Amino acid sequence: MAGEQPVENLDAAAARVELKRLADLLGQANRAYHTEDSPIMDDAEYDRLRRRNSAIEARFPQLKRADSPSESIGAPLADGFVKVTHSQRMMSLGNAFSDEDVAEFVDRVRRFLGLPAEAGLQFTAEPKIDGLSLSLRYENGQLLQAATRGDGTTGEDVTKNALTIKDIPHFLHNAPEILEVRGEVYMLHRDFDALNKRQMEAGEKPFANPRNAAAGSLRQLDPEITRSRPLRFFAYAWGDLSEPLGETQISALNHLELLGFSVNALTRSCASLAQMLAHYRDIESRRAILGYDIDGVVYKVDDLRLQTRLGFRSTTPRWAIAHKFPAKIAHTRLEDIEVQVGRTGALSPVARLLPVTVGGVVVSNATLHNEDYIAGYDSTGQTIREGRDIRKGDWVEVYRAGDVIPKIRDVDLTRRPADSTPYVFPTTCPECGSDAVREPGDSVRRCTGGLSCPAQSIEKLKHFVSRGAFDIEGLGAKQIEAFYHDDTLSIREPADIFTLEQRDAASLTKLKNRDGWGEKSADNLFAAIRARRKIPLPRLIYALGIRHVGESSAQVLANHFGTWTAFQSCLIEAKNETGPAWDELLSIDGVGPVMASALVAAFHQDASRALINRLLRHLEVKDAEPTAQDSPIAGKTIVFTGTLEQMTRAEAKARAESLGAKVSGSVSARTDIVVAGPGAGSKAKKAKTLGLTVLNEVEWLELIG
Ligand code: IVH
């Protein structure tokens, strides 16, 4: 554009002026587009200005503005969506599959709060909509940003698309200054049918179910496509708020409805377990005539103060649960049984099925769990299909519960071919030929090849680059598979990813000439890899793919240890599974002996330790941030002993943890504070001997405010 200097000619002063101009201009363009529906520039110009802004920021990172357009709302980039970090994590829900599970949930809530059986406790019950969740941020009544859930922490900016959804107001009157409304985007059955009809007429692939159609329609780079797909939105939760919406879940939902949101009309307030279950049955009986898909009922503690007291586990609230509807079933023929080798060496049998529709989704594979399951036993060794093992050629009953992988429940012996023989589970690894053994008490047979088994190495690498781990853009399962088998570009272990860029010229040329690749894709990949050299501690721990250590355990470990050095030294010291380091591991809430053993082993088996060391040479690990840095107990280790009177032990523990403290079960020299209620015995005594701070409950409550 006239008057604009090339980015490389700008000095710092000129760059500062230009960044301000771009922030203002793009801000105006956003407002004009999003709220006045009258764009002041076309998309190409908008994208050009954003790119110019990013290029200047890349040259002068210290000049990046707080209101930088690259951080805030924006149009989709040509190659994807802008990432959005949620101001408050978008959580998922724990599941209940039976009335007993729900009863247990209610008991758990009561126990946590220390409520006696006769004290009233109100819950809401509402349909669980089978769509995808969306967070809408309003400031001063204007919709500024819509973001998908993504991994819960970071989602995608789909503002332009959300603005095309009729149920989503662009402006709110008399709304709190800051209001984040959360809910579900979904599609009505009739709209889904019409859409699929159009898809097929246009020679396009139909969508498998309304949920997929809704997700595919919302995540369109061209908002005009989204506009042509009739999406809807139910509000059921919220994130950031400048003032409360009400004192109860029900009153907050009413408030949202008054502001103009659709709130599901089947939401009820229930005063007892019996009422909750009755409403569940009622919703279940209407399921077929609702006109949209639901997959269960969500119960939530109604009183919002109690919700706050209950708080969250790592990914789910303690105050809510999803009561799922029973699985959907179908019958089909099992054509073959294949055995896959996972990243921990587990041999997993997979059923290849004659494709069949189960609850609207075409299913052609199902898990068979392990060799016992095929023979007819469950994980505890109990018979589940008396005399009915699963064989190739059998007719089987397939079921799907919610989003989970399809499973095989039963076999129809009347249709079994006369010449069928029992399935013989392999005792060697189908990938590398090593022995596959079952440890006593383990239902899973594992390949003993370790990192020399290509299947295990590849699966470990895929895990390493997966979403919750290093999440390297442009390096997914497909690329890992290809790079692993490529002799010159070879990526055989995580460290190789970080030396990819340093391969010899011939290999790099080969990389750039790969099908569908070019100079640009290769450079983008290198940049994405470089960006990940600085890695947050929880991601690194999770990425190592240690058995039993999932994403939330990795987070727990990172919170506890804070730094890689502390984490590693503890595991090295815990070598013989005794001593203070081992005790420390076991004192962490959520870490049991099985996980602790696996962690220790990962740092003591030669091959695995060497692999970790080679990887660490390329990384800078970002320490875990204490959850609440400015709390007086952040980073402290606390032991509760005796009876507490104002709250239950579970609540006290959860409160302390949410304020950044570690809670331990035993007093040692590493303890900072002991909170002793009436009846405290040996632990309080030991604390006094060690000269530790001992507080009573009142002093403790004063300390944490
Ligand atoms: S409440 C902190 N209510 O189910 C709890 N979720 O399996 C926030 N969902 O991610 C969720 N209907 O996408 C809630 N009435 C409802 C829902 C609902 C559907 C979805 C939501 C969530 C997922 C968890």
**CATH numbers and ranges of domains, the chain:** 83-314 (3.30.470.30), 465-497+499-532 (no CATH), 536-622 (1.10.150.20), 637-704 (3.40.50.10190)
Atom of ligand 1 nearest to the CA of 126: 15
Provide the token pair at 70.
């690259």
What secondary structure, in 3-state letters, does 93-150 show?
CCEECCHHHHHHHHHHHHHHHCCCCCCCCCEEEEEEECCEEEEEEEECCEEEEEEECC
Atom of ligand 1 nearest to the CA of 95: 7
Question: How far, in Å, is the centroid of ligand 1 from the Cα of 317?
Answer: 11
Closest by Cα among 405, 379, 409 to 394: 409
Determine the 3-state secondary structure of 373 from DSSP: helix
CB 339 within 8 A of CB 426: yes
**Above 80 in pLDDT, residue 686?**
yes
Alpha-carbon gap, residue 293 to 192, rounded angstroms: 11
> What DSSP designation does 239 have?
E
Question: How far, in Å, is the centroid of ligand 1 from the Cα of 235?
Answer: 10
Taking CA atoms only, the protein residue closest to ligand 1 atom 21 is: 133
Closest by Cα among 300, 238, 310 to 267: 300
Atom of ligand 1 nearest to the CA of 132: 13
Q: How many angstroms separate the first and last alpha carbons of the chain?
A: 57
Q: What is the pLDDT of residue 151?
A: 82
CB 533 within 8 A of CB 621: no
Question: How far, in Å, is the centroid of ligand 1 from the Cα of 146?
Answer: 17
Taking CA atoms only, the protein residue closest to ligand 1 atom 12 is: 128
Alpha-carbon gap, residue 663 to 674, rounded angstroms: 10
Question: How far, in Å, is the centroid of ligand 1 from the Cα of 680?
Answer: 41
Provide the token pair at 180.
């984040």
How far CA 703 is from CA of 628, 659, 663, in Å, comes to: 15, 11, 16
Q: What is the pLDDT of residue 567?
A: 96
Taking CA atoms only, the protein residue closest to ligand 1 atom 13 is: 133
Q: What are phi and psi of 512, to 5 degrees?
A: -70, -20
Alpha-carbon gap, residue 121 to 319, rounded angstroms: 12
Alpha-carbon gap, residue 154 to 558, rounded angstroms: 19
Q: How confident is the model at residue 202 (pLDDT cuts 50, 70, 90)?
A: confident
Mutate to test the pocket of ligand 1, among 88, 90, 130, 133 (most ligand atoms within 8 A of CB): 133
The string over 240-267, giving b where at least 16 C-beta atoms fall within 10 Å of a residue's C-beta and e elsewhere, is eeeeebeebbbebbebbeebebbbbeeb
Alpha-carbon gap, residue 221 to 218, rounded angstroms: 9
Question: How far, in Å, is the centroid of ligand 1 from the Cα of 285?
Answer: 21
Mutate to test the pocket of ligand 1, among 91, 105, 128, 308 (most ligand atoms within 8 A of CB): 128
Best mean pLDDT range from 41-45, 177-181, 219-223, 484-488: 177-181
Taking CA atoms only, the protein residue closest to ligand 1 atom 2 is: 91
Question: How far, in Å, is the centroid of ligand 1 from the Cα of 666?
Answer: 37
Between 492 and 589, the higher pLDDT residue = 492
Question: How far, in Å, is the centroid of ligand 1 from the Cα of 93?
Answer: 6
Task: Say what the pTM is.
Answer: 0.63
Tell me the mean pLDDT in the region 5-23. Answer: 91
Taking CA atoms only, the protein residue closest to ligand 1 atom 10 is: 92
Residue-wise pLDDT for 119-149, tens only, equals 999 999 999 999 999 999 999 999 999 999 9
Tell me the mean pLDDT in the region 295-311. Answer: 96
Q: What is the pLDDT of residue 75?
A: 37
Residue list, ligand 1 pocket, CB within 6 Å: 91-93, 126, 128-129, 133, 184, 236-237, 298, 317, 320, 322
**Above 50 in pLDDT, residue 268?**
yes
Alpha-carbon gap, residue 571 to 488, rounded angstroms: 35
Residues in contact with 492: Cβ distance below 8 Å, sequence separation at least 6, in sequence order: 457, 484
Atom of ligand 1 nearest to the CA of 128: 12
Provide the token pair at 491.
């990526």
Tell me the mean pLDDT in the region 64-74. Answer: 67
Task: Answer yes or no: 324 catalytic.
Answer: no
Atom of ligand 1 nearest to the CA of 320: 5
Q: Which of 20, 64, 128, 478 is catalytic?
A: 128
**Above 50 in pLDDT, residue 646?**
yes
Beta-ladder partners of 156:
83
Q: What is the pLDDT of residue 38?
A: 61
Q: What is the pLDDT of residue 188?
A: 96
Between 36 and 101, the higher pLDDT residue = 101
Taking CA atoms only, the protein residue closest to ligand 1 atom 23 is: 92
**Above 50 in pLDDT, residue 207?**
yes
Q: What is the pLDDT of residue 77?
A: 34
Mutate to test the pocket of ligand 1, among 184, 253, 287, 308 (most ligand atoms within 8 A of CB): 184
Question: How far, in Å, is the centroid of ligand 1 from the Cα of 269?
Answer: 17
Question: How far, in Å, is the centroid of ligand 1 from the Cα of 92?
Answer: 6
Atom of ligand 1 nearest to the CA of 264: 15
Atom of ligand 1 nearest to the CA of 316: 2
Q: What is the pLDDT of residue 152?
A: 86
Taking CA atoms only, the protein residue closest to ligand 1 atom 17 is: 128
Pairing between β-strand 436-438 and β-strand 445-447 as defined by DSSP bridges: antiparallel
Q: How confident is the model at residue 2 (pLDDT cuts 50, 70, 90)?
A: low
Question: Which contiguous run of DSSP H or E holds residue 352?
Answer: strand 347-358
Residues in contact with 320: Cβ distance below 8 Å, sequence separation at least 6, in sequence order: 93, 94, 298, 299, 300, 301
Percent of the chain exceeding pLDDT 90 equals 60
Percent of the chain exceeding pLDDT 70 equals 95
Q: What angle do CA 663, 669, 670 make, to 5 degrees?
A: 40
Q: What is the pLDDT of residue 10?
A: 92
Alpha-carbon gap, residue 450 to 437, rounded angstroms: 12
Mutate to test the pocket of ligand 1, among 93, 263, 276, 295 (most ligand atoms within 8 A of CB): 93
Mutate to test the pocket of ligand 1, among 236, 249, 308 (most ligand atoms within 8 A of CB): 236
Torsion of CA 121, 122, 127, 128, to 10 degrees: -50
Taking CA atoms only, the protein residue closest to ligand 1 atom 6 is: 128
Provide the token pair at 593.
């002996």
Alpha-carbon gap, residue 108 to 541, rounded angstroms: 30
CA 633 to chain centre: 28
Q: Which amino acid is at 381?
A: G
Tell me the mean pLDDT in the region 199-211. Answer: 85
Alpha-carbon gap, residue 351 to 681, rounded angstroms: 57
CB 585 within 8 A of CB 570: yes
Q: What is the pLDDT of residue 291?
A: 93
Q: Which amino acid is at 76?
A: P
**Above 70 in pLDDT, residue 40?**
yes
Q: Which amino acid is at 26?
A: L
Tell me the mean pLDDT in the region 437-459. Answer: 91
Determine the 3-state secondary structure of 528 from DSSP: helix
Alpha-carbon gap, residue 630 to 50, rounded angstroms: 36
Taking CA atoms only, the protein residue closest to ligand 1 atom 15 is: 128
Taking CA atoms only, the protein residue closest to ligand 1 atom 22 is: 92
Tell me the mean pLDDT in the region 439-444. Answer: 86
CB 264 within 8 A of CB 237: no
Between 512 and 162, the higher pLDDT residue = 162
**Above 80 in pLDDT, residue 557?**
yes
| Residues belonging to the chain | 705
Alpha-carbon gap, residue 688 to 542, rounded angstroms: 39
Question: How far, in Å, is the centroid of ligand 1 from the Cα of 91?
Answer: 8
Question: Which contiguous run of DSSP H or E holds residue 323?
Answer: strand 320-324
Alpha-carbon gap, residue 136 to 170, rounded angstroms: 10
CB 530 within 8 A of CB 618: no
Question: How far, in Å, is the centroid of ligand 1 from the Cα of 182?
Answer: 9
Q: To the nearest whole number, what is the mean pLDDT of the chain?
A: 89
Closest by Cα among 238, 402, 253, 235 to 317: 238
Closest by Cα among 74, 34, 31, 67 to 50: 74
Closest by Cα among 689, 698, 634, 646 to 667: 689
